[in-house]
Amino acid sequence: MSSIIQIADFKDTEYQLPEQKYGTYQNYLDKYEKYFLVHLLGADLYALFIADLVAGVPQTVRFLDIYNPFEIDDGGCVRYSEGMKSAVMQYVYFYAVRDLSVKKTNTGVVFNDNEVSKGPFYSGYNIVEAFNEAIINGGAIQWFICDNSTEYPEYNGQILNLTSGI
């Protein structure tokens, strides 16, 4: 079961999932939340992070620091993260919507149909942007961990790559 996001978290956000599929989204949450977090943190730090959660929120300062949103001036750069929960939602949204019978076209989001495509009651946030935002947020979290490496000796995160969508 997913640990930090729930299906209800997507409601009334830019990552709102089409309602007719709510019953099947839990599989996406379970699979892709864990996949993203294991790659973000590494297996050992992931296990410690999950063990620290109470009602989906970490309890110790070192995990709250990477869970919560942050903006940090770093020399000539600004490191910005919308928070771990947002990053996971963006990542899950990408995979859930990608697999729907919805297609992004130059005239908008349409349901695939054998004869005719018709416009859905789904406004659809760009899934490639959602994926890349997850990766950018994840990169900021990984930067924070590396910049504070004495607090995270278990860290073994993997490189997260952006996509072009083509």
pLDDT confidence band for 21 (50 / 70 / 90)? very low
Distance CA 33, CA 4 (A): 8
Listed in sequence order, the residues at least 6 apart from 17 whose beta carbon sits closer than 8 Å to its beta carbon are: 7, 10, 25, 93, 96, 97
Residue 140's pLDDT is 97
> Residues 57, 73: contact at Cβ < 8 Å?
no
Q: What does residue 57 show for φ and ψ, rounded to 5 degrees?
A: -125, 130
> Residues 121, 139: contact at Cβ < 8 Å?
no
Tokens 């079961």 -> residue: 1
Q: Give the gyration radius of the chain's Cα atoms.
A: 17
Farthest-apart Cα atoms in the chain, separation = 59
Confidence check: pLDDT of 105 > 90: no
Q: Which of 106, 84, 98 is nearest to 129 (CA)?
A: 98
| pTM over 0.95, yes/no | no
For residue 160, the tally of other CB atoms under 10 A from its CB is 19
Distance CA 78, CA 137 (A): 12
Distance CA 3, CA 10 (A): 15
125-151 residue pLDDT tens: 688 899 999 999 999 999 999 999 999
Confidence check: pLDDT of 97 > 90: no
Listed in sequence order, the residues at least 6 apart from 94 whose beta carbon sits closer than 8 Å to its beta carbon are: 127, 128, 130, 131, 134
Task: Give me the mean pLDDT over the 115-121 stretch.
Answer: 53
Q: Where are the beta strands (DSSP E) in 94-140?
A: 102-105, 108-111
